[in-house]
């Protein structure tokens, strides 16, 4: 078990953000494939500009999912990240939304455990049409509870889960 609960601000890197991107690549996303790739790249480019202007650093975890979640990148510095391409989001299979979110949380926690200091922010960006139909391990209530327990909260709308801060993140089993 691992718990992030820094006792002082010295354990937090105020200029570092960890971004967990969880992207739906199921067949239901086929009509939006171009918008998905363009949207992700636009968001990442905006983050790069903000980082450059404000002397910040972002580390990325990227999980894509259909009926099976898959880790694409973990611990990649946004400065060196290649653009997302169509093959990264190629739609196929059914939608295991809850399992995909859980996989994103798992890999984010694994990354946080490897870092020398905590980031000041952990952002979970979930891109989906919201059509859950094939999660085998997780359901909506379990995801909401796990996000709350690990990350200290989430936004209340059903598809805008967002960890608030790296302080107090629990990454145990």
Residue 139 CA to residue 97 CA, distance in Å, equals 9
Residues 6 or more apart whose Cβ sits within 8 Å of residue 53? none
Q: In whole angstroms, what is the distance from residue 108 CA to residue 17 CA?
A: 12
Instruction: Write out pLDDT tens, residues 138-150.
Output: 888 888 888 777 7
pLDDT value at residue 165: 35
Question: Which one-letter DSSP state was computed for residue 173?
Answer: -
Give the pLDDT confidence of 1-18 residue by residue, as tens digits.
333 444 445 588 999 999
Instruction: Find the mean pLDDT for residues 9-30.
Output: 89
Determine the pLDDT at residue 56.
Answer: 97
Burial class of residue 168 in the structure, from the number of CB atoms within 10 Å of its CB (0-12 exposed, 13-18 middle, 19+ buried)? middle
* Segment 142-159 mean pLDDT: 65
What pLDDT is stored for residue 167 in this prediction?
Answer: 40
Map out the domains of the chain with their CATH numbers: 9-151 (3.40.50.410)
Residue 80: DSSP 8-state = G
* Average pLDDT of span 102-119: 92
- Confidence (pLDDT) at 152: 64
């Amino acid at each position: 078990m691992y718990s992030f609960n820094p006792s002082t601000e010295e354990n937090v890197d105020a200029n570092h953000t960890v971004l967990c991107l969880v992207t739906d690549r199921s067949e239901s996303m086929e009509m939006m494939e171009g918008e998905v790739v363009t949207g992700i790249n636009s968001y990442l480019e905006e983050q790069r500009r903000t980082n450059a202007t404000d002397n910040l650093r972002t580390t990325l975890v990227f999980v894509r999912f259909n009926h099976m979640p898959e880790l694409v990148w973990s611990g990649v510095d946004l400065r060196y990240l290649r653009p997302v391409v169509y093959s990264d989001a190629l739609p196929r299979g059914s939608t295991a939304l809850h399992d995909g979110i859980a996989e994103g949380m798992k890999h984010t926690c694994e990354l946080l455990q490897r870092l020398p200091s905590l980031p000041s922010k952990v952002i979970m960006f979930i891109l989906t049409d919201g059509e859950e139909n094939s999660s085998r391990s997780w359901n909506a209530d379990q995801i909401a509870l796990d996000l709350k327990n690990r990350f200290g909260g989430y936004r209340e709308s059903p598809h805008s889960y967002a960890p608030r801060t790296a302080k107090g993140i629990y990454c145990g089993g």
